[in-house]
Amino acid sequence: MTDIIFRIGDESRTIDVADGVSLMKAAVEADIPGIIGECGGNAMCATCHIYTAETDGGRLPAVSDDEDEMLDCTASDRRPGSRLSCQLVAAPALDGMVVEVPPEQV
Ligand code: FES
């Protein structure tokens, strides 16, 4: 299991995500507000947008062309640490990672 800490405004929630499960799926199942995952994890909706710390870039997989394209369509501003949480899969390297839920997803 991998602990991922979601920041939602002033609130923080830690969820245990089974290795191999996407952060979007885990967040939706844990009712994290603001993570919608409308397309089911196919990098086609951008409603699973999260902000990761730029310093976490090294432990995350590279942004694919599809993800990059969708990140230009997010409701909240794209930042250097923006990612689609459906494209990030829990693994020991991500344990303890803090991600922020953007103010708007649609
Ligand atoms: Fe649609 Fe991530 S769930 S892009």
Give pLDDT tens digits for 2-58. Answer: 999 999 999 999 999 999 999 999 999 999 999 999 999 999 999 999 999 999 999
Q: What is the CA radius of gyration of the chain?
A: 12
Domain assignment present for 59: yes
Domain assignment present for 22: yes
Where does the pLDDT of residue 59 fall: very low under 50, low under 70, confident under 90, or very high at 90 and above? very high
Domain limits for position 39: 2-100
Distance (Å, whole) CA 35 – CA 97 = 17
Structure tokens, 16? 């245990």
Domain assignment present for 106: no
Distance (Å, whole) CA 40 – CA 31 = 15
Give pLDDT tens digits for 75-90. Answer: 999 999 999 999 999 9
What is the 46 CA–ligand 1 centroid distance (Å)?
5
Domain assignment present for 42: yes
Domain assignment present for 45: yes
What is the predicted pLDDT for the residue at 32?
98
Domain assignment present for 83: yes
What is the predicted pLDDT for the residue at 48?
98
CATH, residue 49: 3.10.20.30
Domain assignment present for 27: yes
What is the predicted pLDDT for the residue at 68?
98
What is the predicted pLDDT for the residue at 34?
96
pTM for the whole structure: 0.96
Is 45 near ligand 1, meaning CB less than 6 Å away? Answer: yes
Structure tokens, 8? 């939602």
Is 19 near ligand 1, meaning CB less than 6 Å away? Answer: no
